[in-house]
Amino acid sequence: MRQFDFKSEYSKLLTPDIVTMLTAIHEFRGEQLLYIEANKDTLEQLLTIAKIQSTEASNRIEGIVTTRDRLEKIVREKTMPQSRSEKEIAGYRDVLSTIHETYDYIYPRATFILQLHRDLFRYTGQSIGGNYKNSDNVIAEQLPDGTQKIRFQPVPAWETPEAVDRLCSAYEQALQDGNMDPLILSAMFVLDFLCIHPFNDGNGRMSRLLTLLLLYRAGYSVGKYISLEKLIADSKETYYEALEESSVNWHEGQNDYSPFVRYMLGIIVAAYREFGDRAFLLTKGNFTKMERIREIIKNHIGTITKAEIKDQCPDISTVTVQRALAELLEKGEIIKLGGGRYTAYIWNWKE
């Protein structure tokens, strides 16, 4: 059975680029704590946005979708889930809330992981929730011709309970050592969890929820305010490439964690930067709603849709967004691209 030795692998990961990202994250964390302390009530808006985006994005990666209106109502608990997809979305919402509110009391141990997985499927009526896989599974890629390519063969079903116990014990021992950065350890843990692939379904969603849990427990709460799941979904191909690179020779204990660690640290850096931008608009700029929309478009790289603007400003009505866009277009400050459902906007830097 695969052994888990975080200590022996850790020193290999302290490359200059990884250390630079760690330093940046530590600095961002200090800045974020000051923002939160001074503007806790105002930042509640970011909490709501992130919860909606996280629930939508993490499920979308797995092909679990519903309409935008239905999703928002489910996340805000304004309606009951109806379809199979909506029931799984509601389960993710609940587990995400549990982690947000009680992470200090949820330990990275098999018992808690099983309980979170149980709640992920609580509305579906399926018996798989809270139980390890009962047959061997594979991580496969769907090819254009409809065939499947096996990308990774996870741990056999009969070895799974012991593998998860070993992983959790090794992680806790590494944390207790006190000499290893929890940001690196968290990414290593998640990579190993995905390689074990302990469940019949829900492994990807559980890996993202566990990422948040481990980061919160280590004092990195940016995922509460900026959706890490959305950042992952928006770079899904890179995510899968990093996962595949880091899983080569995993069973033999000779895999390279660095591609996945680099990817996850990059996601966290991006989240902290986005937090700084959004927090400034909410707390420091004293902007009107019109000015906030203007700044969002101006500071956005590439095109942005009306829906994406609404994601960042749930407190601003659709009518107000439309009015602001019309006014910015009339002034020539933005350019409209496409039409109908494909309409997008971009800042006019030539003006």
Give pLDDT tens digits along the chain (351 positions).
Answer: 789 999 999 999 999 999 999 999 999 999 898 888 878 777 888 898 899 999 999 999 999 999 988 999 999 999 999 999 999 999 999 999 999 999 999 999 999 999 999 999 999 999 999 999 999 999 887 777 877 778 899 999 999 999 999 999 999 999 999 899 999 999 999 999 999 999 999 999 999 999 999 999 999 999 999 999 999 999 999 999 999 999 999 999 999 999 999 999 999 999 999 998 888 887 766 788 898 899 899 888 789 999 889 878 777 888 999 999 999 999 999 999 998 888 999 999 886
The beta-strand segments (E) located in the chain are: 139-142, 148-152, 334-337, 344-347
Q: Which amino acid is at 199?
A: F
Q: What per-residue confidence (pLDDT) applies to 308?
A: 87
Report the CATH superfamily, name and number, of domain 6-282. Fido-like domain (1.10.3290.10)
The torsion of the CA quartet 272, 115, 57, 196, rounded to 10 degrees, works out to 90
Residues whose CB falls within 8 Å of the CB of residue 162, separated by 6 or more in sequence, listed in order: 1
CATH number for the region 288-347 comes to 1.10.10.10
Enter the DSSP assignment of 334: E
In degrees, to the nearest 5, what angle opens at C-alpha 65 toward C-alphas 279 and 307?
Answer: 40
In one letter, which amino acid is 281? Answer: L
Instruction: Determine phi and psi for 16, rounding to 5 degrees.
Output: -55, -40
Question: What is the DSSP code string of 173-237?
Answer: HHHHHSSS-HHHHHHHHHHHHHHH--SSS-HHHHHHHHHHHHHHHTT--HHHHS-HHHHHHTTHH
Domain ranges for the chain, please list them. 6-282, 288-347
The answer to whether 6-282 and 288-347 have equal CATH topology is: no
